[in-house]
A and B are shown apart, each in its own frame.
Chain A
Amino acid sequence: MENKVLIAIDLSENSLKAVDYVGDMMVHHPSVTITLLNVVREPSPDVMPDEVEREAYVRKMREETRRHMEEASRRLVSRGIHEKNIHIKIQVCSKVVSIAELVLKEQKEGQYQTVVVGRRGVSKREEFLFGSISKKIVGEAKDCAVWVVE
């Protein structure tokens, strides 16, 4: 049976730790396919009114993200995951969207059995103001396992 794992990663070092962990855990599962997902959000015109500036920002972020995803992919390969079983997905969103909601949507559509997120360790105050992606995913995920890697 195919075992599908979705790793939601941002550009932090912590998310690479989640990648390493998945690599170590899944190396003995030849049927595993791992999708690395990252969401690039186009800034809202409210905060960046200039369209040219917004487009340049998205291009830069996309490039940075691609490099980061390739690094993540290399780490998986170095741990014994076959390259053909690794997929990279970069979503560019023009609306302000919840990352947690996008990850859960991807999980549902792609029928992943496992969702993996890194935890940034936000403080109680930060959680009050900004929310927590990992908490939201843990709280709202259905029909899958969620791994939160610290």
Chain B
Amino acid sequence: MTEAEIREKVDLYSRFPHRGKLKIWTNTTEFMDIQAGDVISLEEHHFLVRGEEVEGRFGLDGEPKFWVKKVIDLSDGSSKILKLVFYESFLMQIGPVNIRCFRSPRKEARILGKTRDDPYFMKGFDVQDPAGNTVRILERIQGARYYDFIQNFSMDHETYFHEHFPGIFKRLIDCFEAMLRLHQMEEVHGDIRNDHILIDRKNNLFTWIDFDYTYEWAENPFGVDLFGLGNILLFTVGMGFHNLPDLKACAPPGMQPTSCMEPEDLSLFFKHRIINLQKLFPYIPDSLNHVLMHFSCGTDVFYESTEELLRDLKACEVQVPS
């Protein structure tokens, strides 16, 4: 596409006609300098930059992610996300444990390829720019974040648990099965969180996004992912997280603090987080509570694979009201 053709497309798909000189980037190394209104050209693909995505992680909410650009695909006017190359290594904290974590564009690109036909993973492909940067071109998923979906239930827990949870639980198992498929391909997600599942409006599936984090150890390669899955399960069963201070102050509607919490009822990683939800909500079946307790201070047996976790979850289905 010539510059004149690109300009024509920009005028066609942008709400505001472009004035002045159009800045076209082919090398994306200096991503901080690429701004809204610029065009990124990668091989035969051309994208108008609309701005940056913002961080959704707690504590960093709203911070711009300068390496993640919101763009318009000038071939058809669709919205896309461009993830440019940004290498960083940092310590991620899981409770009191620090984990050396790396951002790897190469790993995310590889997973995009491996999960191309799996509807439970975000879709996209990668292109190398002339400087060798692995740029990921991602479809934008329209739909709510799983975190918001669960948080937005505004009823008492018992009603939620009997009326909504059974259906959500089935869908969550399907979503966890997708994670098993990823693990079977010897890949980890690396950053499993409530807000890294989007509920795709097109098919209603719980869809995994953002898998560019990685680590370097091999004895228990899926440990961090399993921790994340446990957290999501806890959040789903409890209709949110419940912490000791909640009990001490005023319990949310539906909460029945029938007995005192013991240290072994709390999270292995977060000292105030309640894992033994059955003590709050006695109608939670034993089998399901038993799965949760594998993530508590009281456990001596950990899940070592998603397969083990899923086997137990599927066994719970018969006890979950439907």
A residues lining the B interface (CB < 8 Å)? 41, 43-47, 49, 96-100, 123-133, 136
Q: Please, which residue of chain B has its CB at the minimum distance from the CB of A124? A: B268
Please give the distance in Å from B92's CB to the nearest CB on chain A: 11
The distance from the CB of A137 to the nearest CB of chain B, in whole angstroms, is: 10
Q: Is the interface of B mostly helix, strand, loop or mixed?
A: loop
Bound Cα distance from A130 to B221, whole angstroms: 7
Show 7 A/B contacts (Cβ-Cβ < 8 Å), sorted by A: A41-B216, A99-B218, A100-B219, A123-B97, A124-B268, A129-B94, A129-B224
| B residues less than 8 Å from A129 (CB atoms) | 94, 97, 99, 220, 223-224, 227
Q: Does B243 count as interface, using CB distance less than 8 angstroms?
A: no
Among A96, A124, A128, contact of B221 (Cβ-Cβ < 8 Å)? A96
Question: Do A131 and B216 have beta carbons less than 8 Å apart?
Answer: no
Cβ B216 vs Cβ A43 within 8 A: yes
Q: Hey, which chain A residues are within 8 Å of B95, CB to CB?
A: 125
Contact A130 B216 (CB under 8 A): no
Which of B2-10, B67-75, B102-110, B139-147 is near enough to bind chain A? B102-110
- B269 in contact (CB, < 8 A): yes
**A131-B223 contact given A96-B218, A99-B218, A125-B268, CB 8 Å threshold:** yes
**Within 8 Å CB of A44, what residues of B?**
214, 216
- Residue of A43, A125, A136 near B219 (CB, 8 A) is A136
Check B302 for interface membership: any CB of A closer than 8 A. Answer: yes
Smallest Cβ-Cβ distance to B106: which chain A residue = A46
- Point out the residues of chain A lying under 8 angstroms from B90, CB to CB: none
- Most chain A beta carbons < 10 A, residue from B94, B96, B302, B304: B302
Q: Check if B219 sits within 8 Å of A130, measured CB to CB.
A: yes
For B297, the chain A residues whose CB sits under 8 A away are 124
Asked if A46 meets B223 with Cβ closer than 8 Å, knowing A124-B268, A125-B95, A125-B96, the reply is: no
Asked whether A47 and B104 contact (CB < 8 A) given A96-B218, A125-B269, the answer is yes
Instruction: Give the distance in Å from the alpha carbon of A129 to the alpha carbon of B96 in the complex.
Output: 12
Residues of B within 8 A of A132 (CB): 219
**B87, CB-defined interface residue at 8 Å:** yes
Contact A99 B219 (CB under 8 A): yes
Query: For B87, what are the chain A residues with a Cβ–Cβ distance below 8 Å?
Result: 49
Instruction: Kindly name the residue among B89, B219, B223, B269 whose own CB sees the greatest number of chain A CB atoms within 10 A.
Output: B219
Task: Tell me, yes or no, whether B16 is within 8 Å of chain A by CB.
Answer: no
Which A residues lie within 8 Å of B102 (CB)? 46-47
With A45-B106, A47-B102, A47-B104 in contact, is A128–B217 under 8 Å at CB? no
Bound Cα distance from A98 to B217, whole angstroms: 8
A125-B95, A128-B302 as given contacts; A96 in contact with B219, CB under 8 Å = no
Can you list the 4 inter-chain pairs with the closest CB atoms, starting with the nearest?
A: A131-B220, A131-B219, A46-B104, A129-B223
Q: Is the CB of B216 within 8 A of A47?
A: yes
| Chain A residue at minimal CB-CB distance from B190 | A46
A46-B102, A127-B302 are known; give 5 further A-B pairs, CB within 8 A: A41-B218, A125-B268, A128-B223, A128-B226, A128-B227
Q: Known interface pairs A46-B214, A129-B94, A129-B99. Does A98 touch B219 (Cβ–Cβ under 8 Å)?
A: yes
Interchain CA distance A103-B190 in the complex, whole Å: 27
Beta-carbon nearest neighbor of B215 in chain A: A47
Q: In the bound complex, what is the Cα–Cα distance between A49 and B93 (angstroms)?
A: 24
